[in-house]
Structure 1
């Protein structure tokens, strides 16, 4: 009876513990016949949890090629959907290292949760290449796979040949053995497989090939558009033409595994697999004997950032167990003969009985460019299609690499983009120095009468505004940055304001009727001008609260480029405020010009600025249209924007500072005909002529700005000159 009570109590305690246990759910997709790893891991961890009273129960959901026909792409999309929805259904995710960047925003940074001692176990190996993105440890590898070279030992021994260490040796050895075998009527042997099927394996084979052609062992991945990369592709085509065929080069995984098992291939590029008879596994060949390249893939485990802290801590115990030295050695290596991210184990003699430790110590690994873009799947499809066109002979090596480079390369507007961009840049430089020179003109006594409409300080503000506009467009040359986005916007908006405010001020104080507002502004000239400029500067400062972002515009058939965009609502609101203030200032100026059209003292200046404002209105409208329409060519996009601003500056400055002076200077001296007309006015003998002549009046720049006189020209000549001004 007493024993029964004890049993009941024990059962009750065990039941309570089961209720209190934290369930950790792991989701995984397994291929390469490694699905048996996870049931073993589950069993071992749950036993470990009980022994150490962790109260954690591990469960896993397995997607494999046995229970789903949709494959790894479906699994990747499923994981993506779960994480984007912030699902708490699963705690741990096992994922292909291809998607480290893709899943990074949704998984915790292990650096903040796991001990430094545990992370240091992986810091010196290939784990850093596949587990870290933007200095964040997204996961840790459960195991790692490498692409390697399989060499048929039977044929090499038969012809007394060594395993090739370079591509030249592979081509020479393969060609020699194939010729000898063909003489023996053995036409079934394949020299080399290439392994460029229409899937992700092509990316690995291609990038390890290019990596094997870098300058030296310590060199980084070669530039795609470089002679090294071109030589790599041309070498592979030579090997294809000599040792294989296009069909074999494009064959899938099942065919490549079959020819290995059938012993019908001399050299094969394939993933490391334990126990393939009659083949020796070595590193991939290189440009020379000191170089090699091997594509690296890992299967990482990461923890969801959306689960509770208790779940995170429990999941962390599972992750530490799976990536511990004991599990990596006894399960990953000894039971399944696959490679680990724990490099310290490759110095363990017992480990080296199960895997080739020397191979891993020699291998020079390279990861596929999965970090290069957010949508790596789309990128890889484009690269694969382009490389297949190269294999088919439709593209040269240079064209293939250029098109691959263009998929992700961001182009920018520069003086080397084309001849037109160089012309625009030179035009801006000429305009810049001409505007600087105009500051000298307004200070020359001879020309002062031509600029009496605005005071000297107002002309200086106007000139600084013009220079600011030029600088805003020159900043668009070269690579765009966030700093350039804000700088360009600030110089553009402040510059436009500084051009318009002096004119607005003059028109307000020159209002035909005396009013208190004009008098108030006239008495507070500096306050009025600098307050408006300060408001514009303040609006640009507020943009830093909701700053610009660089949006990359990717194009299928043209070059990619970046442009500045305001994504957040507050930033767009500030932008609309800036646009609205410009439009209001412009409309106020137009309205005041209309009211002051008939003031004789300033009639020439009013007419000159009216023409300018008419042109400015067209250009301002065009600029706003260009800012809001979608243009997918970076050359057209930047050329149109810069041309509009350049025209704005040139039309304003040319008319105000050049044409007006020339016009006044050409009419400075009176002709004999002028004197005759003056005499007619003085004698008042011909009333009809006087009436006609009185309709044409213009200020004389040599007199005081409050005086005017009748034009001393024949009517037809005045008509011609007046029409000339209008056209300009």
Structure 2
């Protein structure tokens, strides 16, 4: 890859007034979900037309856990082949030392972004990455089936379970043996941390580790939330959900075989595509709560663009980051991918509202979203999350009760914390 960059650097000079500007050969890593890679290729074509720079995409697995592991290996080795990294919102404190400080490069546009999202990508005063799109999950529901059976959109998790079971059983009796009540992300990976944090937080069980660093997960509300989720397995959710990530959940949903689904906004446009069995048959709402008095919790997600400090094409890489996070590119991403913009003004764009009605509705949802505890746990977050999703997966799988697993988890987190995070 580096030889190819050198050749392009030598051969691709473009004469302009004032001197010679050489087109760069860049590489960026990207994890594909849905048709996101195809859309990115469209963006990179526009970028090349504008700048002359060519970008090669290095595909990554859709699992964020697998991506993070590979990133750490490359960055620890000082890999010069990757110029731009797409990063999860939780990774800034852990990878800050490996990325270029973008504060100066973004000074003219940073005010256009939501301050909280910029803050999430700032570590020790350094802007680690530019936000590309943000995320907050929704409860997808089959409005046609709820109308058919005279059911209201559920407000609590118990209401969801009851409605899911009734409609699932009726649809199976009517001739669809594949119908499921509820699909979500139950595999043992970062996605389960997101789902389970929502179950716990929306039931008054805290945020695993609180903003002040206190380990809070071992409490009766968290236990009740996980036991409730465990009761879904094999009743309203298939046993196979324990291996589902986002795309497996969407696959079941988009075939018309689920009443409810928990997923991110990207699934909205795909669900309304011409080849979707649920086109025009569903809607979205905020995730349920445990009981009256609790508040809905949607895990704050989102993807950002960072420049490797080991890149030998940093100037061109910064151009790419600013282009992909620009207002026009974010608008196109919102319209075509239903990804939530990180620039405030796009939420009031009528073209965006017409193409993706979910986006204006989600402005307040994601601003009130619950963050994963990456800020208080800093470089130890990945281990914290792994311990948490393992305890949750054990519980869902029947390997110990929620009370037993959360007590063990508390002990492991206390040991990991040591004298401090």
Same fold (TM over 0.5): yes
On the 8 A contact 1:100/1:132 being kept in 2, the answer is: yes
1:93 equivalent among 78, 85, 99: 85
Name whichever of 235-244 and 13-22 sits farther off: 13-22
1:581 corresponds in structure 2 to none
On the 8 A contact 1:28/1:95 being kept in 2, the answer is: no
Tell me the SS of whatever aligns to 2:91. helix
2:298 corresponds in structure 1 to 294
Q: Which runs of 5+ in 2 are unaligned?
A: 1-12, 272-278
Which deviations, in whole Å up to 9, do the C-alpha atoms of 1:616-648 show, x marking residues without a partner? xxxxxxxxxxxxxxxxxxxxxxxxxxxxxxxxx
Distance 1:358 1:166, change over 3 A: farther
Task: Tell me, in whole angstroms, the C-alpha distance in 1 between the residues paired with 2:242 and 2:81.
Answer: 42
1:350 corresponds in structure 2 to 351
On the 8 A contact 1:194/1:240 being kept in 2, the answer is: no
- Structure with higher Rg: it is 1
Which deviations, in whole Å up to 9, do the C-alpha atoms of 1:246-292 show, x marking residues without a partner? 44344455542232122111111223311412222222112246722
1:60 is aligned to 2:55 = yes
1:271 is aligned to 2:264 = yes
2:286 equivalent among 283, 287, 296: 283
Q: How does 1:450-599 map to 2 (within 5 A)?
A: 554=416, 561-562=418-419
Aligned length: 387
Shift of 1:41: 2.6
Tell me the SS of whatever aligns to 1:294. coil
Tell me the SS of whatever aligns to 2:253. helix
Task: Tell me, in whole angstroms, the C-alpha distance in 2 between the residues paired with 1:120 and 1:318.
Answer: 19
Tell me which protein shows more helix as a share of its residues.
1
Q: How does 1:2-17 map to 2 (within 5 A)?
A: 14=15
Task: Tell me, in whole angstroms, the C-alpha distance in 1 between the residues paired with 2:177 and 2:111.
Answer: 52
1:83 is aligned to 2:75 = yes
Shift of 1:352: 0.9
On the 8 A contact 1:189/1:265 being kept in 2, the answer is: yes
Q: How does 1:323-722 map to 2 (within 5 A)?
A: 323-329=325-331, 331-355=332-356, 356-363=358-365, 364-371=368-375, 372=377, 374=379, 376-410=381-415, 554=416, 561-562=418-419
1:173 corresponds in structure 2 to 163
2:219 equivalent among 199, 213, 226: 226
On the 8 A contact 1:101/1:133 being kept in 2, the answer is: yes
- Return the TM-score normalized by structure 2: 0.78
Which deviations, in whole Å up to 9, do the C-alpha atoms of 1:674-723 show, x marking residues without a partner? xxxxxxxxxxxxxxxxxxxxxxxxxxxxxxxxxxxxxxxxxxxxxxxxxx
- Return the TM-score normalized by structure 1: 0.48
Tell me the SS of whatever aligns to 1:292. coil
Q: Which runs of 5+ in 1 are unaligned?
A: 1-11, 50-56, 411-553, 555-559, 564-728
Shift of 1:157: 0.8
Task: Tell me, in whole angstroms, the C-alpha distance in 1 between the residues paired with 2:297 and 2:42.
Answer: 33
Task: Tell me, in whole angstroms, the C-alpha distance in 2 between the residues paired with 1:165 and 1:361.
Answer: 20
Tell me the SS of whatever aligns to 1:357. helix
On the 8 A contact 1:63/1:75 being kept in 2, the answer is: no
Distance 1:337 1:361, change over 3 A: closer
Shift of 1:84: 2.8
On the 8 A contact 1:114/1:316 being kept in 2, the answer is: no
2:115 equivalent among 121, 124, 143: 124
Task: Tell me, in whole angstroms, the C-alpha distance in 1 between the residues paired with 2:73 and 2:346.
Answer: 37
Shift of 1:320: 2.3
1:38 equivalent among 37, 40, 47: 40
Distance 1:254 1:120, change over 3 A: closer
Tell me the SS of whatever aligns to 2:86. strand
Tell me the SS of whatever aligns to 1:45. helix
Supply the RMSD in Å over aligned alpha carbons. 3.5
Distance 1:164 1:70, change over 3 A: closer
Task: Tell me, in whole angstroms, the C-alpha distance in 2 between the residues paired with 1:357 and 1:193.
Answer: 22
Which deviations, in whole Å up to 9, do the C-alpha atoms of 1:529-559 show, x marking residues without a partner? xxxxxxxxxxxxxxxxxxxxxxxxx4xxxxx
Shift of 1:156: 0.2
Tell me the SS of whatever aligns to 2:46. helix
Shift of 1:104: 0.9
Task: Tell me, in whole angstroms, the C-alpha distance in 2 between the residues paired with 1:250 and 1:304.
Answer: 33
